[in-house]
A and B are shown apart, each in its own frame.
Chain A
Amino acid sequence: MSPDSHHPAAMSPVEQRVAALEALLTERGLVPEGFIEEVTRRYESEIGPMNGAKVVARAWADPQYKQRLLAGGTAAIAELGFSGPEGDHTVVVENTPAVHNVVVCTLCSCYPWPTLGLPPAWYKDPPYRARMVREPRTVLAEMGCRLPGDVEIRVWDSSAEVRYLVLPQRPSRTEGMTEAQLAGLVTRDSMIGVARL
């Protein structure tokens, strides 16, 4: 009897499939004790857009850091303690009044985990991946990011080893803010490039 057969009716078909694979791999001794909980905890609490927000706030507050960040994203991000899978080759692209950057992965769902965490569902679903390289101005407007017609749009398709992080423009009237206050203004979407601040 499988460990999950107590409540088969309560499980959806996909849950039953996951439970089946988990049980078989566990019986073969391939799933280390506590491994699933550890992976879950790491992605739920250690990585996420709060990390990227600290990178952006530092770049806004410290022009020399910003220079290092744009020249070599991976090393500058590691200065703040963020590194790991999907973060070994990070390139930071800067938004300006004339240029807007936006990131997509048309082939799968590549995303800079150490700074942004796991990607949201819409980033992984077909419409965003299909449309962002073909009609970015329209998709951005639909997502609430309406850009003046003379703003150049640069789309970055993460098709190889580089993962991209957008450095949004610093909002006006934030001169007196501390770095922590600045980080509080930075959203996940602004670092993917589907929103401006």
Chain B
Amino acid sequence: MDGIHDLGGMQGLGPVVHSPAEPAFHHRWQAVARALMTVVAGAAGASGGEFRHSIERMDPGHYLTSGYYEHWLTAAATLAVEHGLVTHSELEARAGGRFPLSGPVLAPAVADAGPDVGEPRFGAGDRVRVRDWHPPGHTRCPRYVRGKAGVVVRVDGTHSVPDIEAHGTARRHEPTYSVRFDAADLWGDGQRGVSVHVDLWDSYLEGP
């Protein structure tokens, strides 16, 4: 989905508020939220793709105004409700107030994942172009490279396609590639001497 999480290249978000060192958790609730996500993902049998998508479906305003561990909390609660571990009204009753959850899945469930892709279609040095498409479900293909041409710099072996695993129990495995894009090709106003490398699954790519 073209969601708020897909931030690459967005403007107007302000400066990076950097700190040279910080604790793993600033507050105990953050550690608890983190652990509860593991609990829920285990009990629900949620894949990495399904977990990430449950964050991506957050209300955009809530996403931008809450930190990382509030994302995890919202995702954990959303998956817990969707998988029948708890109900939304139980959560709100126990919290004594509103308990915002992520929005519904917009993509249909995947019943047939299609065949695995064993052999890489491309090798290092090959020119490729990213498919220009806008799937309604989970994807790890950032918007800022869709339709753009780049060069494969590395082939990384075969992995489960997130777009499939986020939407059911079916799985398809494909090679992934690191693809180098010239910043000038991505942004027009790209800074000189800059390249951006994005790791992409086989089905995200087409020939030049």
Contacts and interface: CB of A to CB of B under 8 A. Distances in A.
Interface of A: 2, 5, 8, 13-25, 28, 30-31, 35-36, 39-40, 43-44, 48, 89, 91, 106-109, 117-118, 120-122, 124-131, 133-139, 142-143, 149-162, 187-189, 194
Contacts of B16: 122, 125, 127-128, 131, 139, 142-143
B80 A25 contact: yes
B202 to A, nearest CB: 11
Contact of A14 (B15, B29, B159, B192): B29
A185 B73 CA distance: 36
B interface bracket (residues with beta carbon within 8 Å of A) = 35 or more
A18 B21 contact: no
Given A17-B77, A17-B95, A153 B33 contact: no
B14 A127 contact: yes
A127 B77 CA distance: 26
A15 B191 CA distance: 43
Which A-B residue pairs are the 8 nearest by beta carbons? A106-B8, A160-B199, A20-B94, A20-B95, A40-B31, A130-B10, A39-B35, A36-B35
21 contacts: A16-B97, A19-B29, A19-B94, A19-B95, A20-B95, A21-B86, A24-B91, A28-B85, A30-B39, A35-B39, A40-B24, A40-B35, A89-B156, A106-B6, A108-B55, A109-B68, A126-B64, A138-B191, A160-B140, A160-B201, A161-B156
B67 interface: yes
A160 B159 contact: yes
B199 A133 contact: no
Contacts of A91: 154, 178
A89 B159 CA distance: 11
B22 to A, nearest CB: 5
A24 B90 contact: yes
Given A40-B35, A126-B10, A160-B201, A121 B19 contact: yes
A23 B94 contact: yes
B86 A122 contact: no
